[in-house]
Amino acid sequence: MPEKLSEEQVRHVAKLCRLTVSDAEVEHFREQLAAILEYIDKLSALDVDGVEPMAHALDVTNALRPDEPSAGMAIVDVLANAPQKSPPFFQVPKVLGEGGNA
């Protein structure tokens, strides 16, 4: 079992994660991190010689359809539910700079 984590180590991990933690949370996270490290320690003890690395625990294959070009929707149908439009374009509010100049 890994040695107990210090309060400073927990605060350091929290800082790396950009988290602000209270004193009560430090103790709570110390226990949780210790449990995670204990589990990793158990995994490290496994003999994995001859085991090929895998991307997924199950033997899965790509279930997507082939990527083939097809006809798109008509502009009239695409713009049918748009709140503001100026065919063949959608109209959106200006969001960059004053006056909309980028």
List domains and CATH numbers for the chain. Answer: 7-44 (1.10.20)
Residue 100 has pLDDT above 60, yes or no: no
pLDDT in tens, 54-77: 888 888 777 788 889 999 999 999
pLDDT of residue 77: 94
pTM for the model stands at 0.46
CA–CA distances in Å: residue 70 to residues 37, 42, 55, 67, 73 = 51, 52, 32, 9, 10
Helix 23-44 to helix 7-16 angle (10° resolution) is: 90
pLDDT of residue 1: 45
